[in-house]
Amino acid sequence: MKRHVWRPLYVVIGLVAFILVFRFFYVPTDFGVQERGYTFGYHRLQNEQEWKDYPAKFKGSAYCAECHDENATSIAESGHGIIPCEDCHGAAFNHPEDPETLSIDRGRDLCLRCHSQLLMPSSQRNDLPGIDPTGHNAGIECADCHNPHNPSLEDM
Amino acid sequence: MMKRREFLKSAAVFVSGAAVSLSALELLDPHEVLAQNPELRWGFLVNTYNCVGCGMCVKACKIENDIPLEANVTRTWVERYVITKQGETYSDCPKGALNGFTSKQIDQNESGMKKIADADISEAFFVPKLCNQCSNPACVQVCPVGATYSTADGVVLVDRKWCIGCGYCIMGCPYGVRFFHPVEHTADKCTFCYHRISNGGNTACAQACPFGARQIGNLKDPNDPVTKAVLTERVGILREEFGTNPNVYYIGLSKEVR
């Protein structure tokens, strides 16, 4: 064959070789077909560990009770005992080291998430005590009258 | 003296017979069988009766997984359905229910807010939604680079280092649970809080729910409360006709829920 045929062919072969070499160094060794097969499991295995190492922010009410045990026992007996501490007190992160104090949400909007009255016949929402946010002491914080840790109206 | 024809015949019969019995007697490697049927498969149970639409799950999810609170994307959300006595269905999901449902006004997008009189309401309920972690995930099949995948324990994850942001998976998901992460600039989705459940914890959404409307469990463990409920109660899955085999089960799933 003549040289004008070979010359572009060398270019193509060179390109293919370059791509293969680049791929060899660029693609991690753990990348490939894993347990779930080619269709669903074609990935970089190390990424599973990376997701497992993602830092958790919420620590759970049991973690709070390790230090704040008096609060935990008294609140658990009240009507709000089912609410996790971190729902109002915010995520613990690395409390008590970082942050040293948590910013508590005492806002009216937080209470209204459950206690704004809506007619929801096929939901537990119907069983919760509810108010009309525009009619029931609008503009005042709920915590001014109600104790969030003991919402019983008799004890008010 | 055996004839050549007879020898060939009986040899063929013997070889084929021996081949069958050999394959039948092949010993199974227990590790191989276990790999096909792993001990762990994550499943999720949502009880729509228990959900009160407070949206604490959405808030907790966003904080836990570093999804900007005010960005209009979320890994989980809660929908409100209101069905009137005339048979009309209205649904809304303001900001993914990040701030809960506090108003009787139902957001109908361009047609504005709709208020339905209490006397007209026949059924009304909340439906929490999250990634279904499908057994046959459409989003994984369409990824051109192998950035999204299904783990052996049944969770679909996105490799943020490998994702090129083409958006095929976001289009491919029949449930619309995927979105483009505004900070990471990659596709993002619910991971069932893989970092929490893999280390013995609960998902952030299930932990934040005061009413137990959300539960995570191991579908391979017959004594797990989630597995028991899935096996013994009337549970539904979303968009069964897509053949994705979701692993999120709903108690009290109404036919109006899309």
Encoding tokens for residue A55? 């830092």
Q: List chain B domain ranges.
A: 42-134+190-251
Q: Do the beta carbons of residue B127 and residue A30 sit within 8 Å?
A: no
CB proximity under 8 Å: A 76-95 to B: 82-84, 86-87, 91
What ipTM goes with this model? 0.90
Per mean pLDDT, which range of A40-54, B25-39, B45-59, B237-251 is the poorest? B25-39
Nearest CB to B124 within list A34, A53, A122:
A122
Binary contact (A40, B196; C-beta < 8 A) = no
Q: Which residues of B touch A109 (CB under 8 A)?
A: 99, 102
Identify the closest residue of chain A to B196 by CA–CA distance: A56
| Higher-confidence position of B16 and B192 | B192
Q: Do the beta carbons of residue B58 and residue B74 sit within 8 Å?
A: yes
- DSSP letters spanning B142-198: T-SSS-EEE-TTS-EEE-TTT-----HHHHH-TT---EE-TTT-SEE---SSHHHHT
Q: Is the pLDDT of residue B235 over 90?
A: yes
| pLDDT at position A3 | 85
Percent of chain B surpassing pLDDT 90:
85
Identify the closest residue of chain B to A83 by CA–CA distance: B210
Q: Is the pLDDT of residue B175 over 70?
A: yes
Nearest CB to B151 within list A48, A83, A119:
A48
What phi-psi label fits residue A84: left (phi over 0), alpha (psi between -120 and 50 degrees) or beta?
Answer: beta
Q: Do the beta carbons of residue A113 and residue B100 sit within 8 Å?
A: yes
Strands (E), A7-152: 31-33, 42-44
Q: Is the pLDDT of residue A49 over 90?
A: yes
| pLDDT at position B36 | 62
Residue at B119: amino acid letter? A
Encoding tokens for residue A144? 């001014």
| pLDDT at position B2 | 78
Percent of chain A surpassing pLDDT 70:
99
| pLDDT at position B114 | 93
Cα three-residue angle A80-A89-B60, rounded to 5 degrees: 90
* pLDDT-derived band at A154, boundaries 50, 70, 90: confident
Residue with tokens 């701030």: B99
pLDDT in tens, B94-107: 999 999 999 999 99
pLDDT in tens, B225-234: 999 999 999 9
Q: How would you class B177 by CB atoms within 10 Å of its CB: exposed for 0-12, middle for 13-18, buried for 19 or more?
A: buried
Q: Does A5 touch chain B (CB under 8 A)?
A: no
3-state secondary structure of B133: coil
| pLDDT at position B246 | 97
Measure B227 CA to nearest chain A CA, in Å: 22
Identify the closest residue of chain A to B97 by CA–CA distance: A113
Compute the distance between CA of residue B193 and CA of residue B76 in angstroms, rounded to an integer: 11
Q: Is the pLDDT of residue A2 over 90?
A: no
Encoding tokens for residue B59? 């808030």
Encoding tokens for residue B72? 């209009």
* pLDDT-derived band at B177, boundaries 50, 70, 90: very high
Nearest CB to B201 within list A53, A56, A82:
A56
Residue B105 parent element (H or E): strand B105-107
pLDDT in tens, B16-63: 888 776 667 677 776 666 666 668 999 999 999 999 999 999 999 999
Residue at B88: amino acid letter? E
pLDDT in tens, A60-107: 999 999 999 988 888 988 999 999 999 999 999 999 998 999 999 999
B42-134+190-251 architecture in CATH? 2-Layer Sandwich (3.30)
pLDDT in tens, B105-134: 999 989 999 999 999 999 999 999 999 999
The candidate with the shortest Cα–Cα distance to B146, out of A50, A30, A127, A31, is A31
Measure B2 CA to nearest chain A CA, in Å: 52
Q: Do the beta carbons of residue B42 and residue B153 sit within 8 Å?
A: yes
Q: Is the pLDDT of residue A5 over 90?
A: no
Q: b/e map of A65-90 (b: 16 or more CB within 10 Å)?
A: beeeeeebeebeebebeebbbbbbbb
| pLDDT at position B34 | 60
Mean pLDDT of A112-123: 95
Mean pLDDT of chain B: 93
| pLDDT at position A8 | 92
Encoding tokens for residue B163? 């994702």
Per mean pLDDT, which range of A124-128, B24-28, B83-87, B176-180 is the poorest? B24-28
Nearest CB to B56 within list A35, A55, A87:
A87
Non-local (6+) Cβ contacts of B114 within 8 A are B90, B105, B106, B107, B108
- HEC secondary structure over B190-252: CCCCHHHHCCCCCCHHHHHCCCCCEEEEECCCCCCHHHHHHHHCCEECCCHHHCCCCCEEEEC
Encoding tokens for residue B235? 């549970």
